[in-house]
Each structure stands twice: as structure tokens, then as C-alpha cells.
Amino acid sequence: MKNKTIFVACDTSNISQINKILKNINTKKLKIIPKFGLQFFYSKNGRKFLEKYKSDYWLDLKINDIPQTALSAIDSLKDLKNCKYITVHVNGGLEMLSAVKKKAKLINKDLKVLGVTILTSLNNKSLKEIGYTNSIKKLVLKQASLIKKSGCDGIICSAQEAVLVRKKFRKLFIVTPGIRLPGESINDQSRVMTPNSAFQNKVSGIVMGRSLIKGNIKNNTQRLIDHLSK
């Protein structure tokens, strides 16, 4: 199971809770990497914590702006030496994606840029309300093409689209959010899947939040290990 990467969404601004999560998800049986999002990074002590954090992590900022502003945002993160993954919205366009990738490589050769496609909280009805005319599957495949062309390292998409992306882009690093253990509520997600099903779709990594950090974290982690062992 070490070849299966699990990103744990540390969705809290409470440092004590963060330390609890990091301590209790620690296991030699899985490759687990913490993911810190906007809530933590924007909090008073969040950035200070990451400056001192000694292990690899994913900074999920979903940058989406004009190229120069996106470049400045990436440049401002150059002191975060252990940040190994950063996210940008594909909606920012090819020029922004390419520029961010080039800047990331300059400030940290190990920093991987992942393009965020259609959020897993959205469905085809949601897209029509926004003004899109294509289906989610068509949009994600188009966005995957932009990610590949830009030189970015990977894509964030639901496991339902991952199988299509993998067929067309065999070497692309694919990460899927919207993952739930069997029997759990989908909450605010629309396109969900179990960990085993996602990995069967040949994803590179999965993102798990509430399934692991809500309740007894050690027990939840063991449930995940048992599930992936089946």
C-alpha cells in the first residue's frame, strides 16, 4: 500500500487540532501527506507553522488570477522549503499555468504544480447555472489538455473523470478529492467514490478529509488501511 498516496485535508485553523491530526495519521503502512488549505494558511498562526514544518506537505491555495499576480503569489512562497505541491485553477488559462510552472521550478525544483479542474461539489446542473454548456467530462478532458500543454505536473479531478483522463494521459499525476469510506455521508460533495474504487481507476493519489479527521483519527486511519487491504 506504500505506492498509494493519501493526502489528508487538515481543514482547521486550530494548531492543537493540526498537531493531533498529524500525530494520529502517522503510520508505516501508508504514504500519507498532509494538505493545508485556505482556512489554515489564512489563519493567524498557519503560515508560521508551515515555515517550521519539517516534512513534505501540499499547500492547496487554488491560485486563480492574471499571470503576473499568480507569479507574485508563487514567489511569496519561496521560503516554504517543504511545500512539495501547490494548486492553481485551470480556469486561469494556459498562460497563467505555464508561467506558474516556470516560476515554481525556479524557486523549488521539487515543487509540483497541480491544476484544479471542476470542483467535486459541482455537478452538470451547477455548470449550466454558471454558464457552461459542455458536460463535466468534456470540460475536464479539455482542462487536462491545457495542464499537459502548460508543463504542469498533475491534475485534480473527481475519480469519475480520472478514468477518462488516465486513458488519454497515461503519465499524468492524477489526484482525486471527494473520497469517502463505504457507508459514509457525501456531505457537500456531488461526485464521490471510495478509496479502493478510486485507485482501481488508476489515480496517483486521493484526498481524504472528514473520513479521517472527524472522530477517532487512529481508528479512522485503521479503517482506511483495512479497506485498502481488501
How far apart (Å, rounded) are the C-alpha atoms in residues 168 and 138? 12
62 given a catalytic annotation: yes
Distances (CA, A) of 61 to 13, 101, 159, 194, 228: 15, 15, 21, 25, 29
Residues whose CB falls within 8 Å of the CB of residue 71, separated by 6 or more in sequence, listed in order: 99, 100, 103
Catalytic member of 31, 44, 52, 62: 62
Q: How many residues does the chain have?
A: 230
Answer yes or no: are the C-beta atoms of 137 and 176 closer than 8 Å: no
How far apart (Å, rounded) are the C-alpha atoms in residues 96 and 150? 9
Residue 57, number of CB atoms within 10 A of its CB: 21
Annotated catalytic sites, by residue? 62
